[in-house]
Amino acid sequence: SEGEAGGKETEKNAKEYSFKLAHIAPENHIWNDAAKNLAKELKERSDGRMTVEIYPGGQLGSDADMVQQLETGALDFAFITNAHLTSMSDAFSAWFSPFLFDSYEDVLEASKSDVAKDVLATVDDTGIKAMNYFFSGNRVMLFREKIETPKEMEGLSMRATPSPALQDWYRSLGANPESISLPEVYQAAQTGVIDGMDMDLDAAVTSNFNEVTGYGALTNHMVWPSIMVTNKEQFENMPKEDQKIIEEAMAATSEYATLKRSSQEEEFINTLEDRGMELYKIDESLFTPYTEKFDEKYKSKDPLIKEFIETFR
């Protein structure tokens, strides 16, 4: 971080920075590509003044840990899941409105909008600053038995990330959301503790979920934002041009990671099908009544969520 690294002043009065960047995804995950890209962008745009040390794989702890380290300044940047940020500010739930975006390209555009920036600003009164988004892992539904309509989901136990919006979505479908911890998900699906899971294709490939859930509905019902977060005080004390470098580097990374993930979609589908998983679509219109119910509930939660949904619906 800036203070400890000495913040060396060169003759041009341009500071040098050695940043620490952490995230929870493994080294071969798209998030780590994003991290490396951000490091590269920062270095190039600052003519080598900004270097980044990357801590992948949750080496520095969970989302909660990293947020706390960002607050104290032990850490300079982290990629935090949108799911975690919903526990700090309700407004982030807006991104989990079902069926709001058609493609990675769409959601990337949406992230540049004013209302998306307003959502980021809702954590401004804490010690962290949410800077920008990138998107990886649109949600799909994996099942042990073939489920072809939302109606059939009634009473199913579905593992979903423990964030209220995700769990509410399954509740509104009449399913029972379960928050079994990730290391236990495989076996829970294998033995039937759960009937299915809310997942993304990347994770399905890496964790071999095709072995325990033979059917996958390519619903793409929700997007999966990752938020690039920094220490607020440190950022605001930087010279304007350095702030600009960071903002531009992040914008570039947002674009890079989201589009790269978009291009991998087909490969993941092929891999899963090769392994014998049956992947299929469910007519989106069947979900409309449930989506409306969700919108109704979440619009009344927060004016920003209302504005968000009305902008993109």
Could you tell me the CA-to-CA distances from 288 to 63, 81, 99, 291 in Å, in that order? Answer: 33, 27, 9, 5
β-bridge mates for residue 5, sequence order: none
Would you state the structure tokens that stand for residue 233, as one six-digit string? 């005080």
3-class SS of residue 234: helix
178 is a site residue for another protein (CB under 8 A): yes
Whichever of 13 and 181 has its CB closer to another protein, that residue is 181
Residue 252's CB is within 10 A of a number of other CB atoms, namely 18
How many of the chain's residues bind another protein (CB under 8 A)? 51
19 vs 300: CA distance, rounded Å: 40
What lies within 8 Å, CB to CB, of 67 at 6+ separation is 78, 80, 84, 88, 128, 229
C-alpha triplet 47, 49, 54: angle, nearest 5°: 110
Least distance (Å) from another protein to the CB of residue 120?
15
Of the candidates 63, 88, 93, the one whose C-alpha atom is nearest the C-alpha of residue 78 is 63
Tokens 């690039």 sit on residue: 228
Whichever of 73 and 106 has its CB closer to another protein, that residue is 73
The residue within the footprint of another protein, chosen from 50, 83, 140, 153 (CB under 8 A), is 83
DSSP conformational letter for 192: T
282 vs 98: CA distance, rounded Å: 14
Residue 270's CB is within 10 A of a number of other CB atoms, namely 12
152 is a site residue for another protein (CB under 8 A): no
Strand 50-55 and strand 17-22: the pairing is parallel
The residue within the footprint of another protein, chosen from 184, 248, 278, 310 (CB under 8 A), is 184
Whichever of 168 and 242 has its CB closer to another protein, that residue is 168
Whichever of 162 and 214 has its CB closer to another protein, that residue is 162
Least distance (Å) from another protein to the CB of residue 284?
27
Asked if residue 76 lies in contact with residue 2, where contact means CB atoms within 8 angstroms, the answer is: yes
Whichever of 31 and 104 has its CB closer to another protein, that residue is 31
Least distance (Å) from another protein to the CB of residue 60?
6
The residue within the footprint of another protein, chosen from 34, 60, 201, 227 (CB under 8 A), is 60
What is the sign, positive or negative, of the torsion defined by CA atoms of 201, 202, 203, 209?
positive
Least distance (Å) from another protein to the CB of residue 283?
27
Region near another protein per CB under 8 A, out of 93-101, 130-138, 178-186, 214-222? 178-186
Whichever of 68 and 271 has its CB closer to another protein, that residue is 68
What is the sign, positive or negative, of the torsion defined by CA atoms of 80, 227, 78, 73?
negative
Region near another protein per CB under 8 A, out of 43-51, 130-138, 171-179, 295-303? 171-179
Least distance (Å) from another protein to the CB of residue 313?
26
The residue within the footprint of another protein, chosen from 127, 259, 264, 297 (CB under 8 A), is 127
Binding to another protein (CB under 8 A) within 194-233 occurs at 211
Least distance (Å) from another protein to the CB of residue 58?
9
Of the candidates 33, 23, 37, the one whose C-alpha atom is nearest the C-alpha of residue 84 is 23
> Which stretches of the chain bind another protein, using CB under 8 A?
1, 3-4, 27, 53, 55, 59-62, 64-65, 67-69, 71-74, 83, 86-88, 123, 125-128, 155, 157, 162-164, 167, 176-184, 186-188, 190-193, 211
